[in-house]
Structure 1
Amino acid sequence: MTSAAHHSDEPRIPMPPLEYPALRKAVAVLVPSRLPELFEDMQQAFTWASERDSLAPVHLFHRKWGVIVAIERVPARAERFHSCERLVAQSEDPAERRAAALELAALLAEAGQEISA
């Protein structure tokens, strides 16, 4: 993969449906290191759904991982998201941390709109 392709605004994969099998496949392609986290979240969502007799935890699980996939599938967006995460965690400049946090919020909102479309 070339550097230009790595920083592309073009999605690496189409946005999958918000269903576990499709999200799992997308995570396996985009961020395979997060598959254990996806599986743990899925188990927790189903446990909570059973305990509460509600599908809300399952819907939240699908939404959370849909947002993650929406961010990660666009290389430039993923790179910016992770750069902002690092700034929030590591910068000693409060203004820089605040600006990065605001950009994270905007990227999350953009991804949320994408999965709601």
Structure 2
Amino acid sequence: MSTQADHGHDLIPRPEQTPDALRAALAVVAPGRLGEMQATKDEAFAKAVEWQSLSPVQSWVLIWARDIEIARRPDLWTRYSHAKSTLEDDDPVTAQEALRELSAVLEEAMGAVRE
């Protein structure tokens, strides 16, 4: 596990960006998503073989590292959950604000895992 800036009471340390470390972290913060992780991993590896490129695998690692970053940090998780819950609000202004907030959370999480 790598070190990271203190964001309060993180549920777990930020995992290394390897399939095994990401899977272990997901098993703690969002075990219900393990099947989804495996399915997307299988797709990424199949595309990597088909395309003769590691880019699908690299993308898979970054996407799951980002999602785990959100799930392991209560500050991000709260913002993410609230934005997702208001994304389809009847008020277009509220929905637009939710979309902006969701984008901001995803960007912050991606920036954190790319440090």
TM-score (norm: length of structure 1): 0.89
- On the 8 A contact 1:85/1:100 being kept in 2, the answer is yes
Gaps of 5+ in 2: 1-6
Residue 16 of structure 1 aligns to a residue in which SS? Answer: coil
* Cα distance in structure 2, aligned partners of 1:26 and 1:70: 10
1:93 aligns with 2:102: no
* Cα distance in structure 1, aligned partners of 2:49 and 2:18: 18
Of all paired residues, the percent bearing the same amino acid is 32
CA RMSD of aligned residues (A): 1.1
- On the 8 A contact 1:9/1:77 being kept in 2, the answer is no
Gaps of 5+ in 1: 1-7
Shift of 1:45: 0.3
Paired residue for 2:61? 62
* Cα distance in structure 1, aligned partners of 2:113 and 2:75: 18
Q: Which amino acid aligns with 2:47?
A: W
Shift of 1:14: 0.6
- On the 8 A contact 1:27/1:35 being kept in 2, the answer is yes
Q: Whose helix fraction is larger, Structure 1's or Structure 2's?
A: 1
Shift of 1:59: 0.1
Shift of 1:75: 1.5
Shift of 1:66: 0.4
Shift of 1:10: 1.8
TM-score (norm: length of structure 2): 0.91
* Cα distance in structure 2, aligned partners of 1:102 and 1:33: 27
Paired residue for 2:50? 51
Paired residues in the alignment total 109
1:102 aligns with 2:100: yes
